[in-house]
Amino acid sequence: MTEAEKFKLNDLKWGLIIPVLIAIVILLFPTVIKDALDSAFPAATSPYAFLTVIFTHGFALMIMLGIPLVLGLNWNEWAGGAAGFVTGTLFYLAFAGYNIWYSFQNYGAQYVSNLYRDPSFIGNYIVGGILIGYIAGALNKKSYHFKRMLGAGLTAAITVGVMQFVLNMTVSFAAWMSRNDPFSAFYQVMLPMVILGILGPIIAKISYGSALSHPG
């Protein structure tokens, strides 16, 4: 039985400080930041209300897809795809439930749909999570050359973003909303994905040498 490695300050950074900071940031977006954006850009009157969607749901989606993207870049396509299945399934269950309750609260029971049956939810989150992790890992092949990591990350993120847009325009239960404003629908999907495709490789590159890229 081998002994555990000696404790280092770097362990404290990756094991405590960074996870706590990420948790605080994640909690700020749906609470403090969402309320501030709702006040600044009221959904009923402001042409910039879409910013609230990007910085709340879009940010949550970036976290959900960012985990398999980084794991795919740092480990391999199988780790990325498996992580994407887990995070995508959790996000699908939470987001469908949230939207069902939101519809019930704001519009009444007659306007509530079973969003767990919505093909776009399954495709956008579960399939999208698997794809982004798998594509990133398969294209990167454990390379730590930043240009290759960036190319793999952007390709994976944009591919999943295009798939999400197509699903939102076609099979989604709310496809009529996307069809009413295709440009806004495309922008709200693709902007977070492009940002993710850039940030993911940066995070993967920074984490090189940590337990994230060298497990065990």
Instruction: In whole angstroms, give the CA distance from residue 191 to residue 10.
Output: 33
List of residues 6+ apart from 89 with CB closer than 8 A? 125, 126, 129
CB atoms within 10 A of CB 203: 16
Question: For the chain, which domains are there?
Answer: 51-206 (1.10.1760)
In this predicted structure, what is the pLDDT of residue 100?
87
Mean per-residue pLDDT for 51-61? 79
Element holding 166 (H helix, E strand): helix 146-170
In this predicted structure, what is the pLDDT of residue 19?
75
Helix residue ranges per DSSP H, 171-214: 175-180, 182-206
Q: Using one digit for the tens of pLDDT, what is the confidence trace for 133-171?
A: 999 999 999 999 999 999 999 999 999 999 999 999 999
Instruction: In whole angstroms, give the CA distance from residue 199 to residue 66.
Output: 9
Instruction: In whole angstroms, give the CA distance from residue 111 to residue 163.
Output: 27
Mean pLDDT over each residue of the chain, to the nearest integer: 86
Instruction: In whole angstroms, give the CA distance from residue 159 to residue 92.
Output: 19
